[in-house]
Amino acid sequence: MQYTPTKKERRALRRAAKAEARAQQTNTGHWRRGFNWLLGVVIAGLAIWGLVVLVQSTQRPAEIISDKLAIAADDWHKGPAEAKATLVEYGDFQCPACAAYHDLVDQLILELGDQMRFVYRHFPLTSIHANAQGAALASEAAGAQGKFWEMYDLLYTKQGEWSDLADPMPKFKEFATALELDLTKFEADAKASASTDKVARQVVSANQLRVDSTPTFYLNGARVSPRNYEEFKGLITAVIDEAPAE
């Protein structure tokens, strides 16, 4: 015979069911609140971490990448290796700003003498300067005959004479003649793999350093952007003054 609960028992069962439902709802609410709290903590943590990374990247005074800036045996340089300040420039011979800074660098070398070493590296911006690569190769060809710095000066000081030419090589040969170079060797060296490979290696190093404009300067491994001669000299003399005494 099947048992039939009394009215009182049925009311008690309904109250128990409602209580269990409320308890489940309460537990579900607690779980949701706990999950939302945990999710909020995770999101806040990620936001703080992202902010820290952003601040570190924007407030970093200068990026120092010593292995990319280590002076190579075939780098063109002026000044002693033991100089307290080493200035590395990535330049483009067809760049007007580089031509302007050329005068500033020359004045710094003149004034600071053996306290500074200057290193020049190629970064021809071939997408906007059609003759920059040829000029870099011409300087290397002159360097093969011991006249890199002389050609470096001519390319910058006479930039207006060759910059817009459809074929700048005749003008480069004029410069080579003025420097009393062997023209046959000069033309051959301008096309030689030794020259093209060197320029390509220096472009790679510039890209690894995220150089995106010329001139770009590194002072003792730190990227600097001086706006004028006094600021430039001040940066270098500060490095010299802060160097440990020998």
Q: What is the CATH number of the domain that holds 128?
A: 3.40.30.10
Both 54 and 117 in a single domain?
no
Q: What are the beta bridge partners of residue 86?
A: 117
List the structure tokens of 64: 């120092």
Q: Which residue has the tokens 């080493």?
A: 86
List the structure tokens of 89: 């420039």
Both 107 and 9 in a single domain?
no
Both 178 and 235 in a single domain?
yes
Both 94 and 32 in a single domain?
no
Alpha helices in 63-158 (DSSP H): 66-69, 96-112, 132-143, 148-157
Q: Taking the CB of residue 107, how many other CB atoms lie within 10 A of it?
A: 13
DSSP single-letter state for residue 244? P
Q: What confidence score (pLDDT) does residue 18 get?
A: 60
Q: What confidence score (pLDDT) does residue 24 get?
A: 57
Both 177 and 231 in a single domain?
yes
User: Cβ neighbours of residue 169 under 8 Å, at least 6 residues apart?
Assistant: 134, 138, 187, 190
**How far is 209 from 202, CA to CA, in rounded Å?**
11
Mean pLDDT in consecutive groups of 10 residues from the start of the chain, 246 residues: 56 59 54 54 46 36 63 96 97 98 97 97 98 98 98 98 98 98 98 98 96 97 96 97 84
Q: What confidence score (pLDDT) does residue 56 get?
A: 37
| DSSP H or E run through 221 | none
**How far is 245 from 84, CA to CA, in rounded Å?**
10
Both 95 and 131 in a single domain?
yes
Q: Which of 214, 236, 204, 194 is nearest to 68 (CA)?
A: 204
Q: What confidence score (pLDDT) does residue 243 get?
A: 87
Residue ranges making up the domain that contains 36: 1-60
Both 73 and 135 in a single domain?
yes
Both 74 and 55 in a single domain?
no
Q: What confidence score (pLDDT) does residue 53 get?
A: 38
Collapsed DSSP state (helix, strand, coil) of residue 38: helix
**How far is 109 from 103, CA to CA, in rounded Å?**
10
Both 210 and 97 in a single domain?
yes
Beta-carbon-side half-sphere exposure of residue 71 (alpha carbons within 13 Å): 21
**Count of structural domains, the chain:** 2
Q: What is the pTM of this model?
A: 0.74
Amino acid at 216: T
